[in-house]
Structure 1
Amino acid sequence: MISLVINVMLPLTLLCAAILLLHRPLQARLGAHNIYTLWVSVPLVLAGTVLGQLAPARLDSPSLEQLQHYRVLAGELLFQGDNPTLKMILAGIWMLGSLTLLAALLYQAILLKRLSNRAEDIELPHASIQCPLSLTRREPSMVIKRHPDIDSPMLAGLLRPVILVPMTFEQLSPSQQTAVLSHELKHLSRHDIAANLFGYLLASLFWFNPVCWLAYRRFRDDQEIACDAEVTQKMDKQQRIAYSQTLLAYSQQAQLGMLHTHYGNKTILKERIMQLKKSHTKRPLAMLGLALTMGLSGALINQSAVAGGKHHDEVKAPSPVMRIEPGYPTEAAKQSIEGYVQLQFDIDKQGKVSNVSVIESSPADVFDAEAVKALSQWRYEASDKGVSQAKVQLDFMMSAPKAELERIRITAG
């Protein structure tokens, strides 16, 4: 698990850093609607990278020679360190950090549920809101509740969402009430609570990476600004001024909740009010296309990190759909020993590997155990008859050969 997290971190960090660095010029040119849509590229790049790690053969399917060759580099071992105790300590620290953040999420969910249960229902006859979704089949409209501990309107809850408002909410004008509730209902229709939860879980996995937390914070701010743009799109100047005054009134709530929205946020108040003066055309198809392109790039970025650069030949051989990285023996890495292991094995109808045996190895008995252990966990494409006596060679190398060197293989007979 820790190795997968490390492999996924590179493309994810590059994507988040690119969005953060280009955020201001992109928002000025494209508008809040389109910038928020661009964040779809994060789960896409995550999915693309994971697929590139687990199913490299499906993304790169050249013809293979009968004795397939794969490289096993010592770079990852040397990067992680030779001491297995150190690896266990680092993995333990990572897991402890992730579990702590998940516990904080659970604690907030309990507090939010208690707050919602203690809040009292209210009816706002002047707020003409058409709810796009129902909480249950028995409830035709959105439930609105108020509580003295709430400083700013919010949409709370994942499975049974409610709108929570402060005690002073009824003192607003009918038009201001309608604007605020429309803002929260826009969160509901876009499933923003689920998006916030996914973003927090992703940040919890990469809690040691500050870029991920900066991106999560920026994503949440873009979410609010995009809702403002949606709600005020058809408002006139006076209505937008009234909406800005409502933002100012509830600007003291700066808490960033994982399971609720944060309508009032003084940290981005100026940015939100400035965005109300602007108007941009929504380009959902163009932005989704850009996000999809960025997501698919994750599979290409990490292809070089998967064990085994394959040598292409003209003879077709069974194609693995999942390869496990063999471990580079610690002592061999310390002494800069390189070598290879040729193995023979069978593949059943389900694609599972069995009967793994060593044909030849050099140096003898140095890489054999790691090669057999890894190959036994490989998975191949399912077939009607399976494959008998398939062959593969694992080349254990300290580093990849230079691309400009021409490699020629000569075989007898």
Structure 2
Amino acid sequence: MILWLLQQTLLLSLVCSILLLSHSRLQKHLGAHKTYALWMLLPLILLSSLLVNYLPTQLFPIQSDQIAYYSVKAGKVISQSESSWYRQTLISTWLIGFSCMTFALFLQSAYLRTLLQTAIKVKGLASYLPTYSHPKVHSPMLIGIISPKIILPPDFVSLSPLKQRAIIAHEQYHHKRLDLFCNLLAYGILATFWFNPLFWLAYKRFRNDQELACDAKVTATLDTAEKIVYSKMLLAYSQQANHGLLHTHYGNKHILKERIMQMKTHQKGQSGLAVIGLTVALGLSSLLLNQQVLAGDDKNQDIHPVIRIEPVYPAAAVEANQNGFVVMKFDITPAGEVNNIKVIKSSPTAVFDASAIKALKQWRYSESKTGAKDSLVQLDFVVEAPASDIEKIQVSSK
């Protein structure tokens, strides 16, 4: 889990950095719609990672063609287990952060449900979505992924028909473009990689680009006077607007200047095929990068022994001062257990085999998604020589 998070945060951080640093140029040359669409690269990268990990193992065979060598000293039975306290600490820390992010989402969901229960239905508006009004709402917003609704501030009914149509069109475009689902997906990515500050900046920029794209759509057919009216509505509703996780925010004081300046410029943008081609190309690149990361990860997804039982040195071999080795082939299950053990070579023949097999059956490896096939290990049985600091005395008979 930790290894996957680190692998993906590197790839995603690279894409986020590019999008954030080149944002002004992208807006200028591609326009608001296509710049917003480029944020789909992040879930594409994660999707490519899942495809690489869950495609049939026949397409990505995991082989261990390197022999692991271990020495066995006579007279010593050592049980070695690799300490994993640091992994547990990292996982626990990540879980705490992820749980806090999930709890925050739950709290806002409960708040919106309570808000909707006390909202008053508004009729007579030119909207295909149900519209409601609530005194605690200070800026128009769209809520509900499954059953979408528009909630309006109480003074909305007093606005002119032009202002009402512009605001309703803005929120309906959010719905048509499935922005609420995209927001939930983006928040899920943020919750997963909450430890990376770059993701918080990217999430904020993503939400701002979402509003810019909606503004560009609504004002595309408005004349100058109508754009001025639309700008005044943005100013009026941006003073007390809250940044929501599960709803859109028509008013957004943090990018108010950027939204108004966008309406003053006519952005033609490049062909839609350009951004589609760029998105697909980067998406395929992320798939290849994930394949390389998986393939280059020691060919075993960092599978390593966490419990290693040393074989008992046969008493007869100790008495005979006999050295030797055993080479074994075996499989590792996703749970880290060892099975299908076969001795492929030993010397002297059959002297150390039984002891080596008995010990290897008790070995445990780190958990993985696919395990490993045909892993190799060589156990070298060596009688311990006397320590070098012991004085050797030669005795001869006369």
Percent of residue pairs bearing the same amino acid type = 37
SS at match of 2:267: coil
Query: Does structure 1 retain, via aligned residues, the 8 Å contact 2:329–2:376?
Result: yes
State the 1:210 CA deviation. 0.7
Question: Which residue is equivalent to 2:162?
Answer: 175
State the 1:283 CA deviation. 3.7
State the 1:55 CA deviation. 4.1
After superposition, the Cα gap between the structure-2 partners of 1:220 and 1:326, relative to the gap in structure 1 and judged at 3 Å, is: same
After superposition, the Cα gap between the structure-2 partners of 1:176 and 1:346, relative to the gap in structure 1 and judged at 3 Å, is: closer
Whether 1:187 and 2:174 are equivalent positions in the alignment is yes
After superposition, the Cα gap between the structure-2 partners of 1:246 and 1:88, relative to the gap in structure 1 and judged at 3 Å, is: same
State the 1:57 CA deviation. 5.9
SS at match of 2:65: strand
Question: Which residue is equivalent to 1:17?
Answer: 17
Alpha-carbon distance in structure 1 between the residues aligned to 2:368 and 2:18: 40
Alpha-carbon distance in structure 2 between the residues aligned to 1:216 and 1:376: 31
Question: Which residue is equivalent to 2:79?
Answer: none
Alpha-carbon distance in structure 1 between the residues aligned to 2:158 and 2:345: 82
Larger radius of gyration: 2
Unaligned runs of 5+ in 1: 73-81, 132-141, 312-322, 332-339, 348-352, 381-389, 396-413
- The counterpart of 1:276, out of the listed 244, 263, 274, is 263
- The counterpart of 1:214, out of the listed 197, 201, 213, is 201
Question: Which residue is equivalent to 2:114?
Answer: 114
Question: Which residue is equivalent to 1:243?
Answer: 230
State the 1:259 CA deviation. 0.9
Alpha-carbon distance in structure 2 between the residues aligned to 1:9 and 1:246: 39
Question: Which residue is equivalent to 1:384?
Answer: none
State the 1:370 CA deviation. 9.8
Question: Which residue is equivalent to 1:41?
Answer: 41
Alpha-carbon distance in structure 2 between the residues aligned to 1:38 and 1:84: 39
State the 1:230 CA deviation. 0.7
Q: Which moved more, 1:19-28 or 1:368-377?
A: 368-377
State the 1:300 CA deviation. 2.2
Question: Which residue is equivalent to 2:147?
Answer: 160
Whether 1:95 and 2:95 are equivalent positions in the alignment is yes
Q: Which digits, 9 at most, give the CA deviation of each residue in 1:338-372, with x for residues without a partner?
A: xx97525699xxxxx9952154699x97x967987
Question: Which residue is equivalent to 2:189?
Answer: 202
Question: Which residue is equivalent to 1:356?
Answer: 340
TM-score (norm 2): 0.74
State the 1:68 CA deviation. 6.2
Whether 1:85 and 2:85 are equivalent positions in the alignment is yes
TM-score (norm 1): 0.71
Query: Does structure 2 retain, via aligned residues, the 8 Å contact 1:342–1:393?
Result: yes
Unaligned runs of 5+ in 2: 69-81, 309-325, 347-351, 379-398
SS at match of 1:164: strand
Alpha-carbon distance in structure 2 between the residues aligned to 1:183 and 1:264: 11
* Amino acid in structure 2 at the alignment position of 1:244: S
Query: Does structure 1 retain, via aligned residues, the 8 Å contact 2:36–2:210?
Result: yes
State the 1:30 CA deviation. 1.1
Alpha-carbon distance in structure 2 between the residues aligned to 1:71 and 1:124: 76
Within 5 A, what are the aligned runs for 1:279-298?
279-281=267-269, 283-298=271-286
Q: Which digits, 9 at most, give the CA deviation of each residue in 1:72-97, with x for residues without a partner?
A: 9xxxxxxxxx7522221221111011
SS at match of 1:255: coil
* Amino acid in structure 1 at the alignment position of 2:251: G
Query: Does structure 2 retain, via aligned residues, the 8 Å contact 1:143–1:163?
Result: yes
State the 1:28 CA deviation. 1.2
After superposition, the Cα gap between the structure-2 partners of 1:230 and 1:355, relative to the gap in structure 1 and judged at 3 Å, is: same
After superposition, the Cα gap between the structure-2 partners of 1:378 and 1:120, relative to the gap in structure 1 and judged at 3 Å, is: closer
Q: Which digits, 9 at most, give the CA deviation of each residue in 1:192-212, with x for residues without a partner?
A: 111101111110011110111
Alpha-carbon distance in structure 1 between the residues aligned to 2:164 and 2:212: 18
Whether 1:69 and 2:65 are equivalent positions in the alignment is yes
* Amino acid in structure 2 at the alignment position of 1:45: I
Query: Does structure 2 retain, via aligned residues, the 8 Å contact 1:341–1:371?
Result: no
